[in-house]
Amino acid sequence: MVFDPKKNSKVINRKRKTICDGIVDQIALVKNPSYRPTSYKWTTGIDGEVKKTRVYKNLKPWWYESENKTLIFSIKYRGKPLKLVDGYNGIEVADADELVSTLEALKAEFEQGALDHLFAVSAK
């Protein structure tokens, strides 16, 4: 089976959107540590009334602080870090401001499709 970009464009676009949405959430988490994204679900009450309920999602940061006080982060897709460079799946930045600017730059790269090779559909 050969990779066909026309055939797999919906899959690639969905993966791009998922990663970009995750990056947006991570940027919001860096700027506001108490940030929690919300979603809605339909619930049925005791009286049988169906209503829309707000649900807060748990959001784990994609970064951690190293021993030398720098931040190391990785882009995650479906809970697993993407290998941005061969042998490495993390990027080291100096502080939270640099983390935000780096995440915004990576988001722009994913939106343009420059990093599609990181999650391209493999032939099986």
| Rounded mean pLDDT, 17-26 | 93
The percentage of the chain sitting over the pLDDT mark of 90, rounded to a whole number, equals 52
114: exposed, middle or buried (C-beta count within 10 Å: 0-12, 13-18, 19+)? exposed
Q: Which two tokens stand for residue 100?
A: 């935000």
The reported pLDDT for the residue numbered 5 is 56
**Does the pLDDT value for residue 120 go beyond 70?**
no
| pLDDT one-digit tens code per residue, 38-93 | 999 999 988 999 999 999 999 999 999 999 989 999 988 888 888 887 778 788 99
Q: Is 99 within 8 Å of 74 (Cβ atoms)?
A: no
pLDDT of 24 strictly over 50 = yes
Look up the pTM and report it: 0.79
Q: Could you give the C-alpha distances from 102 to 11, 14, 50, in angstroms and in order?
A: 25, 22, 43
